[in-house]
Every structure is written in C-alpha cells, then in structure tokens.
Structure 1
Amino acid sequence: MARPPTAAQQRLIRAADPVTGRLRGTENQLMALVRLRLAFRHPRPPHDWFLTPAGHVWRERPADEPAPAPAPEPAAERPAAPSGVFAARVGGEPSGDGGPARAREVHSAWLGLLEMRRMTHPDGATDRPCAWERTHLIPAAALALEAAGCRPADPDHDGYRVTGTAQPEAVAVYAPDPAALLACAAALEAAGWQVGEHTEPRRSGGRRYLLASPRRV
C-alpha cells in the first residue's frame, strides 16, 4: 500500500502545470512521485515528467483537506491502483463517500487520464486508451465507469463489478440488470473501449456480462 505524499512532494504536485500536469523537480524527487504512482515520465524526448490521474486528484485537493484512507484490496486479481490514496472503485469495496468530495476526485482523475492520453499518443488523441490503461485494465475500466456516473457494487447496493479475464487485454464487467449493463457498455464505448456482450456457460450461472478491451485506433 503506497503512503501519502510528503509535504514536500505535495508542494511539487501543487506546482505542476494546471493544464498539462507537467512537473519540475530533481530526478530523485520526481522518481519518488513515480513510485507513489502520482507521476510518470513521458516515453518520448525530452522525457518530461507529468502527473498521473491520481496525481491530478492530489493537485486539486484543498490543502487543508485530509487524505482519505486507502480502500482495501478486495480481490487478488485486482492490479495496482493509480495511487495509494485514490482508487477507482471496481465493485465490492466497503461503502464509501459517494458525495461531492468523491465526485471531485473522480472528475479530477478522469481529466488527468485524458491529459495522459493526449500527452502519450503521437497524434494527441484523447478518444482512445493509452498505454497506462492497457497495463492497468481493471482500474482504467472502473475509472471510466465511475466517471460516467455508473454505480459500483458495495455491501449495501448492487452495482457494476470489474474483474480480470484470461484474455491479456480484456476485462469483464458485471451489472445487476440489463439496463445497468447497457449503461456500462455505453460508458466504456464513449471512453474508447471495445465492448461485446456475452453469456456465461449455464454451469457458471448463465449471467450476462461485458467483455471490454481498450481500443487502439
């Protein structure tokens, strides 16, 4: 579990460019933010450093607002979340704050992800997933769903659940009813994912689910 950034690291984050998320600092300082999954280094020259979606969340957090406690990992298949203090809800986490603070965090994370797409795609496109999303399939799909207003499952409510699959670049999305499944499909397609609806074998329950993978073109 990643620790929250130090006061000095938070100052670097808050000093990032408000539009691009570009960071300035020493290599050691910036590498520390990378280890916290709050920054990444651009793969093309001049190899500048930028905030990740979770870094954008930290940048927009009021200075006097305490950091939320990290959510526990609900399943072994869940890959690393973008940071130790923000995690898109994949479904199954304990009931959390669903109010304005959470909405702001999700919105900031989504804007940060769009900026990451723009900065890492050679053509500057934001309408399709980037390399980070293809290596963090479950949290990336969950962020797209939560940012679109879909509701994750928790102990008190039914909602979507995002799980891994045997396919290398695909996740499965389950929802409590056909309307919710359709809404999840629309949200993922709008976020640049390819989506197909499938049915489990009868021996596994026969549930309908979505198989979603990041669109490349």
Structure 2
Amino acid sequence: MTRPPTAAQRRLIEAADPVTGRLRGTEAQLTALVKRGLAFRHPRPPHDHFLTPAGHRMREDDPAAEPESPRPKSPRPDSPQPADTGGFAARVGGEEAPPPAGPARVREVHSAWEGLLELRRMTNPDGSRERPCGWERTHLVRAAALALEAAGHPPAGPTGTDGYRVRATPQPEAVAVHGPDDATLSACAATLEKAGWQVGEHTDRRSRKRYLLASPRRV
C-alpha cells in the first residue's frame, strides 16, 4: 500500500463488524479496499468482503498517534488486554471498568460468537466451524476470551481473585488462562477444547499456581 486510505475508506473500515471484519459498502468502495490489501472478497457466495489482517490492524491503530511514537511491544502476560474502542470486546478478566452484565451483554456475546463461527465457515478452506480461523490466530487473547465468555464462564473482576483471566504469553500462538481453583481451570479447559483449542495444564515455577496454556488447533 503506497497511500493512506481516504477518509471515506477509513470510515468503511471502522464500521466493519468488530468480530468477523465483514464490510458493507458499494462495489467500488470495496474493490478499492481490496486493491490496497485491506480487504478480500470471499470466493463463496454471497461473496462478501472482509478485512484482511492489515485492515484489522489499521482499524485498531490510533489515528491520532504520532507517527514517530514507538508502539508497545508484547503486553505483560499478567495485564488485561485493552478493549477495542467503539466495538465489541470479550471479557478477558481483571478489567478495571468491565461492561455491565445483564441480558443485553448475553445477547451481544452470543451474537459475537455466532459471527466468529460464521467467519470460521467462510474462511477455513474446508468450511469447518469446529476449527479456529486466521482471525483467531492474530487475536489470541480476544478469541480465547470470547469462547469462554460465550460458554457462560464468569470472568475475574478488577481484583482478579475470582473467575478466569486470559493473558498473552511470550510463546507464539499461545495464551495463558488463570483461575482461582482447579475446578475453574478444568471447566475452562473443556470449553476451549470444544471450541477447537489445544490445552495443557502447567504450574508456574515461582508461584506454584496452576494455569492453562491454550493454542488454536490447526487440524
């Protein structure tokens, strides 16, 4: 991409579905985004357009940030991931200002999960809804947290002493899931395995606390 997107194209990117990246616009607008490498046209009917990883990154970048400002490296494994601005974000646990619970949140989470399953169907080569897709591999913490929240697991509150917490790890394609007890970890492991993740249980060498290490399954 040699030129930045126009204001109209950026609005189109920002209005994309927050989970699946599905775009809405005129054929000319969508074609222009494809040419810039920010979107792709799905080969299967109805041939919808979706954001590419570059398109997702552009939407998540802060447009007001100074170009020379260094971007943060990998997040600390024990810190919650920031929520997306203006869109849906699954609960990773430990947020200082979590979204309000209630029926509206349940519906929102259910809709996001169904959208992710549809994205799997449309982007996995075999159309499988049982196996994580490319979006999940580039948004590991958010994807694992969505699977857990959609299954009804309670996320940890601001103190982090109850419920699950999903955190980034230095390992590629792996997240850590922490919980207050073995029962919580076992339940989270079963949910992630059902959602297409490979899960192993480990013990932290310093704290001696148990945690899960989960990676999206490829086959």
- Please tell me the TM-score bracket, short chain as reference: 0.5 to 0.7
Task: Describe how 1:173-188 pairs up with structure 2 within 5 A.
Answer: 173-188=177-192
Distance 2:39 2:196 in 1: 22
Name the count of aligned residue pairs. Answer: 172
Give the structure 2 partner of residue 206 of structure 1.
Answer: 208
Name structure 2 gaps, 5 residues minimum: 1-10, 53-73
Alignment partner, residue 196 of structure 1: 200
3-state SS in 1 of match to 2:157: coil
- Distance in 2, Cα, partners of 1:177 & 1:211: 15
CA 1:123/1:152 → structure 2, altered by over 3 Å: closer, same or farther?
same
1:110 alignment partner AA:
W
Alignment pair present for 1:153 and 2:153: no
Measured after TM superposition, the shift of residue 211 of structure 1 is 0.3
Q: What is the deviation of 1:97?
A: 1.4
Mark the CA change 1:45 to 1:118 in structure 2 (over 3 Å): closer, same or farther: closer
**C-alpha offsets along residues 185-205 of structure 1, whole Å, 9 cap, x if unaligned?**
01100100000001010xx21
Q: For residues 30 and 147 of structure 1, do their structure 2 counterparts lie closer, same or farther at Cα, with a shift above 3 Å needed?
A: farther
CA drift of 1:154 comes to: 1.2
The 8 Å contact of residues 91 and 98 in structure 2, kept in 1 or not, is answered as no
Task: Measure, in 2, the Cα distance between the counterparts of 1:51 and 1:105.
Answer: 21
Deviations 1:17-48 (A, max 9, x none): xxxx674524546988xxxxxx9534658974
Q: Which amino acid aligns with 1:168?
A: P
1:65 is matched with none
Residue equivalent to 1:41: 40
The reply on whether 1:137 has 2:172 as its aligned counterpart is no
**Which ranges in structure 1 are unaligned for 5 or more consecutive residues?**
1-7, 15-20, 33-38, 53-74
- The 5 A counterparts of 1:27-38 are 27-28=28-29
Root-mean-square deviation (CA), in Å?
3.3
2:124 is equivalent to residue 103 of structure 1:
no
Distance 1:102 1:145 in 2: 14
Give the conservation status (yes or no) of the 8 Å contact 1:80–1:136.
Answer: no
Structure 1 residues 216, 13: CA separation in 2 closer, same or farther (over 3 Å shift)?
A: closer
**Structure 2 residue corresponding to 1:91, chosen from 90, 93, 117:** 93
Percent identity over the alignment is 59
- Residue 171 of structure 1 corresponds to 175
Q: Radius of gyration: which is bigger?
A: 2
Contact (CA 8 Å) 1:173, 1:210: kept in 2 or not? Answer: yes
On the 8 A contact 2:81/2:167 being kept in 1, the answer is no
Once the two structures are superposed, residues 139-182 of structure 1 have per-residue CA deviations (whole angstroms, 9 ceiling, x without a partner) of 00000000011111112661111111111110000011111111
Match of 1:125 among 125, 128, 145: 128
Residues 126 and 199 of structure 1: CA distance in aligned 2, closer, same or farther (over 3 Å): same
SS of 1:141's equivalent? helix
Please report how far the alpha carbon of residue 98 of structure 1 lies from its aligned counterpart in structure 2 after TM superposition.
1.4
